[in-house]
Amino acid sequence: MGCEAVHYYVYYILSAEEAVYRLSYCFLVSLYLVSQLVNQILKTFMGKDVEIKIRIILTNCEARFSMD
C-alpha cells in the first residue's frame, strides 16, 4: 500500500478535509504494520504473544490515536 507525497498534494488541492483523512489513514496503516512487526518480534524472541491494540477516533478534521 503505497503512500506517495504527490497524492497528499493532490488531495489537499481537492479538499483539505479529504487530505487530512487520507494522511491519517495512511499513517494508521503504517502504525498498524509496525505494531504487527513488533508483535512478531516479541513473539519470536521472547516466546510471548503480545497484542498491541490501536484505537482510532476520526472526527471532522482531526485524528487522535491511542495505543494500549
Cross-strand bridge partners of residue 62: 59
pTM of the model: 0.38
Closest CA to 56 of 67, 45, 65, 47: 65
pLDDT above 60 for 41? yes
Instruction: Tell whether the model's pLDDT for residue 40 goes beyond 60.
Output: yes
